[in-house]
Amino acid sequence: SEGFKIAPPDRIPEEMQEETENMYYQPYSEDQENIILVGPLPGEEYQEIVFPVLSPDPRTEQDIYFGKYQLHVGGNRGRGQVYPTGDLSNNNAFNASATGEITKISFEEYVGYDVTIKTPDGETVVDTVPPGPELLVAEGDQVVSGQPLSTDPNVGGFGQRDVEVVLQDPARIKWLMLFIGAIMLSQVLLVLKKKQVEKVQAAEMNF
């Protein structure tokens, strides 16, 4: 929602500063501070993200009123799958480029696996699987074109959650608390008065 933004460091409580340490929040643009980008972050370390949101003040900002506001949070998991050259990164599943028998698998550090496939017509095709993905095949296996040779490390997706927050006027809360307190006090006084009347009536009956 417009008007909401990430709080400056001097407005973040100490207990929240520990939860937001080493976190970089970036506004989408200079004129859209209510849209925040975070990351990229390693998913294993950051299962939960805390946003130190600073709410707007309707008393000083135009077009902002007390009431309900929608907040939307989305997360995208995944990494780049293509290099600028167009080659696939190691964040992909690598498939066989031909049908045939795997006759040889060789490994070279920093290069990965070379999987040699002999086709039915006797030709030899070599597919390279870079370091990262795990091989799913072995020498002697029969494969068909397009069959995965490795696992797919690109476990990802997109998730979104929508929530509502209520921006309240502190003065309204104070008056509401006073009103509730007055009602509770009047109820107590009525009960005490009733007890007093009952005692008087009981005394008169005994007399």
Q: Which CA distances in Å does 14 have to 5, 44, 81?
A: 19, 25, 39
Same domain for 188 and 139, yes or no, is: no
CATH number of 70's domain: 2.60.40.830
Q: Which residue has the higher pLDDT, 43 or 29?
A: 29
Same domain, 160 and 75: yes
Quote the pLDDT of residue 90: 58
Domain that holds residue 101: 95-148
Same domain, 58 and 127: no
Instruction: Give the pLDDT score at 89.
Output: 59
Q: Is residue 44 located within the same domain as residue 72? A: yes
Six token digits for residue 78: 């995944």
Are residues 100 and 65 part of one domain?
no
Phi, psi values for residue 71, rounded to 5°:
-120, 135
| pLDDT above 70 coverage of the chain, percent | 82
Q: Which CATH number characterizes residue 100's domain?
A: 2.40.50.100
SS3 54: strand
For 60-116, how does the pLDDT look when each residue is reduced to its tens digit (9 = 90+)?
Answer: 777 777 778 888 887 766 655 555 455 665 567 789 999 999 999 999 887 889 999
Average pLDDT over residues 42-65: 75
Handedness of CA 165, 171, 177, 183 (dihedral sign): negative
Give rounded-to-5 percent helix, strand, coil for the chain. 20, 35, 45
119 in a domain, yes or no? Answer: yes
Average pLDDT value over all residues in the chain: 79
β-strands 53-54, 32-38 pairing: unpaired
Q: What proportion of the chain, given as a percentage, has pLDDT over 90?
A: 19
Report residue 155's pLDDT band, with 50, 70 and 90 as the boundaries: low
Q: Phi, psi (5° rounding) for residue 52?
A: -80, 85
Comparing 181 with 43, the larger pLDDT belongs to 181
Specify the pLDDT at position 136: 92
The answer to whether the beta carbons of residues 1 and 34 sit under 8 Å apart is yes
Q: What is the dihedral of CA 173, 12, 37, 152, to 10 degrees?
A: -110
Alpha helices of the chain — where are they, by DSSP H? 14-19, 170-206
Q: How many beta carbons lie within 10 A of that of residue 7, not counting itself?
A: 17
Check whether residue 123 and residue 54 sit in a common domain.
Answer: no
Q: What is the pLDDT of residues 111-154, one digit of tens each?
A: 889 999 999 999 999 999 888 788 999 999 999 999 999 987 77
This prediction's pTM? 0.42
Q: What confidence category does residue 40 fall into, taking pLDDT thresholds of 50, 70 and 90?
A: low
In a domain, 90, yes or no: no
CB 96 within 8 A of CB 143: yes
Domain count, the chain: 3
Least confident piece of the model among 39-43, 79-83, 183-187, 189-193: 79-83
Q: What is the mean pLDDT of residues 154-170?
A: 75
Residue 89 lies in a domain: no
Residue whose C-alpha is closest to residue 141's, from 96, 171, 179, 109:
96
The pLDDT value recorded for residue 18 is 76
User: How many CB atoms are closer than 10 A to CB 70?
Assistant: 9
- 3-class secondary-structure state, position 16: helix
86, part of any domain: no
Residue 164 pLDDT > 60, yes or no?
yes
Q: Within this chain, do residues 75 and 160 fall inside the same structural domain, yes or no?
A: yes
65 bridge partner residues? none
Mark whether 73 and 100 lie in a shared domain: no
